[in-house]
Structure 1
Amino acid sequence: MKRLHRLTAILVKLQSKKVVQASDLADKFDVSIRTIYRDMLALSDAGVPIGAEAGTGYFLVDGYSLPPIMFTEKEANALITASKIIHNNNDKSLISDYDEAIEKVKAILNSTQKEKLELLEQRIVSPPFQKPPTSSHLSVIQKAITDLRVLEIEYTAASQQYTKRTIEPLGVYFTSTIWVLIAYCRLRKDYREFRTDRIINLIETSELFPPKLFTLEEYFKKYIEN
């Protein structure tokens, strides 16, 4: 990769993450950490306000923003391809959010790129498999996970039993047909899984829960593999 392309890619990384490790950048671009140090110095000399903290990494100073970076044709094609897969997803909120994001991507493309993208949209199809039951709660659940916000749900279990739960949402996973929410259930006082298509109603409360020592890796190892 040419240095100019690498510097641009580093800027994208700095915009997309709160903190970026030099070692991660070195691995991504297959260069030495010393080269990354030189790249960061070059960006700083060019006027990009990059902060650095020993043992933490690099970050863009708060309040600074960079102009939009144009998508390459291959990157735009990848997003369109992904959209075809997303549209076979069972969660309506995810489809809606993704469609809005794609519209913003199209807005910054030039005329030639837009024409090529429209052609590609017509030439890619995801076979219409039998649709699973739909849900529309994923967007709210995702935000609740990052906000540490308590949710109240009305839920129908596989046994058709109706129940109300107060939960602390921690993660989600996709089974290729349905989304599953992992949460700490205050009723059961333990982790529980809830299929999003079986959530009848969902309420965002004003209550926040304290951060938990939770990772999906440890969860699957303890609750799924055993």
Structure 2
Amino acid sequence: MARTADGTRLNRLEELKGLLREREHATAAELAAEMGVSLRTLNRDIALLRQNGLPIDADRGRGGGMQLHRSWSLGRLHLDHLETIDLLLSITIAEKVGSPLLLQHLTSIKRKVSATFAEGYQGRIRDLRRRIIVGAPATLNVVNSYVPPSRANLALISQAFFEQRQVIIDYEAGDGVVTSRRIEPQFLYFNAPVWYLITWDHLRDDIRTFRVDRIRSAELQPTTFRVGDPKIYIASADRSASLL
């Protein structure tokens, strides 16, 4: 019972930190009502967060509110493979767009984000970034045939890419023919809004590019692979992406 109570309180404290991070200013009564706890419980939680070093500023007087001090940071980021790839892709796209507005603080953002990952993990993040390529926007013909991929397939493919594991896919070509392929998802290639997998295809025993939205099913395999020469794979993708 005590362990359950401790777990409930930890979850509540995390929720409270999230609310304080989202709000520029909130009263104790507002926070208590949103979390469904008494004002007394909320004040105890606030006191505990302060004891643990969270810089919570409070306004004095009747109806005063509270907020996190501006210097407070997120601390360590805990991201799964999907969140990591989404973050890396967003940064890579911002770099490729080349907008002065986007690039003004990008170097500092990259440095800070990299620093939040666990020690020894940053090399892996750099390797992943090198495997994400952003090309030109997709052609009109490609966009007209594009359908957003299923979340289930996207999650599994992202995991295979992240963990460098082979995956068996059922792939529907442009003519409607479906084939089963065992592939190694070597690189992700993005022609907005279409994602491609640049792979080693064991059926063809060669490099092949697949549109992610045409993958009808996917099955993760335990077999891992090594990343190949990016120049060879990217050259293949540049040739074939506009034709798929």
* Higher alpha-carbon Rg: 2
Interval containing the TM-score (normalised by the shorter chain): 0.3 to 0.5
TM-score between the two structures when normalised by the length of structure 2: 0.38
